[in-house]
Amino acid sequence: MAFNSYSYLVALLCVVVCYWLIPTAWRKWFLLLCGAAFYASWSPYYIALPGLVGALAWWCARGMLADQARLRFWMRLVIVSALLLLAYFKYSAFLWRTLAGSATQVPAWLAVAMPLGISFYVFEVIGFLVDVKQKRVKAPALADVCSLTMFWPCLTSGPILRFRELVPQLNAARRFDLATAVNGIDRLMTGLVQKNFIANSLGSIVAEGFLPKAAAANSTLDNWAMAVAYGLQVYFDFAGYTNMAIGSARLLGLTLPENFRFPYHAANPSDFWSRWHMSLSRWIRDYLFFPINARYQGAPLPLYASLIGIMALVGLWHGAGWGFVAWGAMHGAYLVLYRVWERVCTGRPGWAEAWLARWGWRVLTLAAVTLAWVPFRAVSLDQSLRMLGSMIAGFDLRLSYNVNSYLVIALAALLCAVEPLLDALQKRLGEPTGAAAALRFWVWRPLAWACALLLFLIFDDRDAQFIYFQF
């Protein structure tokens, strides 16, 4: 049941109505049940998996809290188990092909379908255990831990939640709040339009432009256009999903962490990662990068190497393929480059503040992020190298596709460019009062929702899945 399906919208309406009608004490259990039903709607065979991972984490957390002497043992036990589970489902076939050769048939016991959302709830569970170790979480209940792994808005593609930001909200008694619910519907509608209208429109252009034979014949300009188009498609697709997840949760009175903050407006590579897939960046920062940073403080080379290694692993987390690793490693290299620049600028504040440096980094970041999307989307490393070669060293400005394709890309880019302006304008105008508020609520908002639903319906494509579902 994808968020942009008819059945999801009907089911969400029923769930929201029931949720607010039942007694507060039942709500947590009701959401757990909904999570199970949502997961079963995708795959009844793996329904127990997120619950089992949650139960295992709860059992180990209890062990950690009860047996401080063997705390590390308990934590490692569950982290290794969760990672092994992830490795089996997600990477075994990839490892087999890498070691035995791509032409070799993968044995049936390794070629299993990946359970939906496993990458996300495994990370949530690891984060939970680190929080238990660091005493940020005290005496968790089994139902609470399972609520984390089975919370349906985030089950398939995040945002990656922390136990301490979700469970207290689930356990608190809340009343229905109109402003929160309206905001939830706003987010839901925004997500529907981002996915069905924008991302799907870009999807067909990207699909053609990245076909291996087509890509081989693309001009420099075509390759840049396709890379930009894919960057925009991923952004609107994933931001659309996230908006729908956040909107669904808001309708239940729950607040989820944001995942995007105008990423293509980043001032530098480091800033990009504080704006792109923020819940993943936060997880990496807190549970991987901070410990490593603390370990290698004062030793830049090992730190830089580990930074590239971490980002390559982040790439691998996205998918079992060398293209994903290359994407991660490229981002690692960008981050290292920026760190070196920061080091060079230490003691020279004028350099870092110079207009040229600031805008130079902004433009370089945008170009570098766009280049990195090529291996992420290309069918093979060979294709990536060919496209990247043309983008960096070529100068062929022919247009090979219908002019409408370039216009769609340009329109999506323009929309992305003005997003912060629209946001700032909205904040500046503030919430209207009196007649203006009534006009906004009873005229503009229903009109906007109706327009969003119309775009959702007329650009509906049942076959177009969310890109991040495969991760």
Partner 1 sequence: MKPAATLIAALALSLATLAGFLHGNPFQSAGHALDWLFGAPPAWTQVEHTVQSAEFQEISRGERPLGSLRQLEAGWQRRTGARRVVLIGNSQMLSVSLAAGEPPPQGPEPTYSDLLSRELAARSRNPVLCYRLAAPGMSYTEALWYVLYLSGRPHLRPDAVAIQLNYQSFWNGGVRAGMQELLADEDFRARVEQEAQGQEAYAESFREALAEYRQRSTRVAAGPKPSSPGDALESHVRQVAAQWPPLSRKYAHRDGLLETLYRARVYVLGLKPTTARSITGPRMRRSQASLEAIARLCRAQGTALILFQAPLNPQVDLYRTAEDKSRHEEFLARLQQISGSPLLDWERSIPAPQWGKWMNGPDPLHLSRAGHRSMADRMIRAIDDALRLNAPGSGHGI
> Footprint of partner 1 on this chain (CB under 8 A)?
1, 5-7, 10-11, 20, 40-44, 176-178, 181-182, 185, 207-208, 211-219, 222, 398-404, 407, 441-442, 445-447, 449-451, 453-454, 457-460, 462-463
Q: How far is CA 134 from CA 42, 120, 399, in A?
A: 35, 21, 56
Nearer to partner 1 among residue 39 and residue 163 (C-beta)? 39
Nearer to partner 1 among residue 42 and residue 59 (C-beta)? 42
Q: How far is CA 120 from CA 50, 196, 249, 283, in A?
A: 10, 24, 17, 11
Spatial contact of 262 and 164, defined as CB atoms under 8 Å apart: no
Spatial contact of 377 and 230, defined as CB atoms under 8 Å apart: yes
Give least dist CB 61 to partner 1, A. Answer: 32
Give least dist CB 86 to partner 1, A. Answer: 22
Give least dist CB 105 to partner 1, A. Answer: 19
Q: Which of 287, 202, 265, 283 is nearest to 238 (CA)?
A: 202
Contacts (Cβ under 8 Å, ≥6 apart) of 141: 58
159 cis-preceded (ω within 30 degrees of 0): yes
Give least dist CB 257 to partner 1, A. Answer: 25
Reading the block at residue 122, the tokens are 């495994």
Nearer to partner 1 among residue 115 and residue 263 (C-beta)? 115
Q: What is the 3-state secondary structure (H, E, C) of 105-130?
A: CCCCCCCCCCCCCHHHHHHHHHHHHH
Spatial contact of 327 and 277, defined as CB atoms under 8 Å apart: no
Give least dist CB 187 to partner 1, A. Answer: 14
Distance CA 440, CA 447 (A): 10
Nearer to partner 1 among residue 40 and residue 111 (C-beta)? 40
Catalytic position from the list 265, 277, 318, 331:
318
Distance CA 265, CA 263 (A): 5
Nearer to partner 1 among residue 355 and residue 395 (C-beta)? 395
Phi then psi for residue 402, to 5 deg, are: -60, 140
Nearer to partner 1 among residue 208 and residue 353 (C-beta)? 208
Q: How far is CA 241 from CA 174, 235, 409, in A?
A: 25, 10, 20
Distance CA 239, CA 335 (A): 23
Q: Which of 337, 326, 383 is nearest to 360 (CA)?
A: 337
Residue for token pair 């905001």: 183
Distance CA 138, CA 380 (A): 47
Give least dist CB 254 to partner 1, A. Answer: 17
User: Which amino acid is located at 397 in the chain?
Assistant: L
Spatial contact of 380 and 212, defined as CB atoms under 8 Å apart: yes
Nearer to partner 1 among residue 309 and residue 394 (C-beta)? 394
User: Which amino acid is located at 66 in the chain?
Assistant: A
Distance CA 2, CA 39 (A): 11
Give least dist CB 29 to partner 1, A. Answer: 21
Residue 331 known to be catalytic: no
Q: Which of 279, 237, 169, 275 is nearest to 3 (CA)?
A: 237
Nearer to partner 1 among residue 41 and residue 171 (C-beta)? 41
Residues with a catalytic annotation lie at: 318
